[in-house]
Amino acid sequence: MYGQEASIIKFETLDTLLKSPSPEVIVVNFWATWCGPCIKELPHFEELNRAGDPRIKVILVNLDYADKVEKVNSFLRIKNIKSPVLLLDEIDYNSWIDKVDKSWSGAIPATLVLNTVTGKRNFVEKELSESDLQQLIEETKTN
């Protein structure tokens, strides 16, 4: 693996990604470098990505300001983050928050687990433990 850098995207790109045919379960974690609880739970998502289950795709959506992308990239290097990181450059939050999940207040960390086969989705707005994350995925997978 080579050095990881965040891709700066607009909401449309994320929206398309969530609607495209892909592995069974997509795990989208919303985080920022300034969010302590986010950084604490980040290793669980990294571990999930590293495990390489072909039925699961991990996407880290970063909510730092786009002009802080260098700070984000240096964080990714220091923490050796390998999961794909998308920096969502959409400052007008009310234009897209509800499209991720109506129940989202806007606080982070927040995680969306989506089953692209059944359409089943679980959205949680709190710091997840490793077992919380595993349970969310189990809940969302086709049984």
Instruction: List contacts with another protein (CB under 8 A).
Output: 34-37, 63, 65, 67, 91-94, 97-98, 104-109, 124-126, 131-132, 135, 138-139
Q: How far is the CB of 21 from another protein (least distance, A)?
A: 28
The residue among 20 and 131 lying less far from another protein, judged by its C-beta, is 131
The residue among 21 and 102 lying less far from another protein, judged by its C-beta, is 102
114-120 contact pairs (CB < 8 A, 24+): 114/18, 114/25, 114/26, 114/27, 114/28, 114/140, 115/24, 115/25, 115/140, 115/141, 115/142, 116/21, 116/22, 116/23, 116/24, 116/25, 116/26, 117/24, 117/142, 118/142
Q: How far is the CB of 16 from another protein (least distance, A)?
A: 21
Q: How far is the CB of 36 from another protein (least distance, A)?
A: 8
The residue among 59 and 88 lying less far from another protein, judged by its C-beta, is 88
